[in-house]
């Protein structure tokens, strides 16, 4: 199917899934979840994000790559502050020290074990969208690779499950042989979501 035809079909399916009249059906197809997993080829990510911003100008777009950098800065600043480091020390250096000091559990730096961790920042942004009664679109989710945060961790978070408006996760993946492959290689869960593929 040509790109424009495929793109149009996916966005039509997304529009239907997000419509107020279909929210009960969405929760049924999502096994009680409240998330739409919008799947597209990783190489076409920017085109899909641009189209979503055009179609949903009032959407709350949450850029995971930007939050990843923010998380590193916040954790680095916090580490520098706690350890009495020079105020001129860059946050990245503080983060490197933090990461090395906790190397056996370094993956936790990104999970909800830390208030400034990536997972916590994502949930905080989703809450902001919910409070503003806007649809949250999680984009550039490829930045989650290697952080220990899986799509299902986000989909099953109580905040996401309970909000009135479904979360849309833009998900660079391929759907092959009835298996969802994140970034075309890593098996991923589509249990708590409505899949748009």
Considering only residues 126 and 100, tell me which one the structure prediction assigns the higher pLDDT.
Answer: 126
Q: Could you tell me which of 134, 132, 118 has the C-alpha nearest to residue 166?
A: 134
Over residues 58-89, the pLDDT tens digits come to 999 999 999 999 999 999 988 888 888 777 88
Q: Which residues contact 158 (CB under 8 A, 6 or more apart)?
A: none
pLDDT of residue 10: 96
Contact (Cβ atoms closer than 8 angstroms) between residue 97 and residue 79 = yes
Q: Which residues contact 122 (CB under 8 A, 6 or more apart)?
A: 62, 64, 67, 138, 149, 154
Q: How many CA atoms lie within 13 A of 57 on its CB side?
A: 1
Contact (Cβ atoms closer than 8 angstroms) between residue 36 and residue 196 = yes
Q: Where are the domains of the chain?
A: 3-64+117-196, 68-110
pLDDT of residue 2: 62
Model confidence at 38, pLDDT cuts 50, 70, 90, reads very high
Over residues 108-150, the pLDDT tens digits come to 778 767 788 999 999 999 999 999 999 999 999 999 998 889 9
pLDDT of residue 66: 98
Over residues 121-132, the pLDDT tens digits come to 999 999 999 999
Tell me how far apart the alpha carbons of residues 141 and 134 are, in angstroms, rounded to a whole number: 19
> To 5 degrees, how large is the angle CA 126–CA 184–CA 8?
65
Model confidence at 189, pLDDT cuts 50, 70, 90, reads confident
Contact (Cβ atoms closer than 8 angstroms) between residue 9 and residue 174 = no
Mean pLDDT of the chain: 91
Site of tokens 């998900």: 171
pLDDT of residue 106: 65
Considering only residues 57 and 6, tell me which one the structure prediction assigns the higher pLDDT.
Answer: 57
Contact (Cβ atoms closer than 8 angstroms) between residue 59 and residue 167 = no
pLDDT of residue 12: 97
Pick the CATH number of 3-64+117-196 from 3.40.50, 1.10.1740, 3.10.400, 2.170.270: 3.40.50
């Amino acid at each position: 199917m040509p790109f424009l035809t495929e793109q149009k079909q996916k966005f039509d399916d997304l529009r239907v899934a997000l419509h107020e009249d279909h929210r009960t059906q969405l929760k049924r197809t999502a096994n009680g979840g409240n998330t739409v997993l919008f799947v597209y080829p990783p190489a076409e990510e920017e085109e899909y994000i641009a189209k979503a911003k055009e179609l949903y100008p009032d959407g709350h777009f949450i850029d995971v790559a930007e939050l990843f950098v923010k998380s590193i800065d916040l954790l680095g600043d916090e580490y520098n502050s706690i350890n009495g480091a020079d105020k001129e020390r860059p946050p990245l250096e503080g983060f490197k020290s933090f990461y090395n000091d906790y190397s056996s559990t370094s993956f936790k730096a990104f999970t909800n074990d830390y208030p400034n961790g990536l997972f916590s920042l994502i949930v905080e942004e989703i809450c902001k969208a919910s409070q503003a009664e806007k649809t949250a679109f999680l984009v550039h989710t490829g930045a989650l690779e290697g952080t220990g945060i899986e799509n299902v961790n986000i989909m099953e978070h109580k905040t996401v499950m309970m909000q009135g408006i479904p979360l849309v996760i833009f998900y660079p993946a391929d759907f092959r042989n009835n298996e969802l492959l994140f970034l075309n290689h890593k098996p991923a869960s589509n249990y708590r979501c409505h899949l748009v593929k």
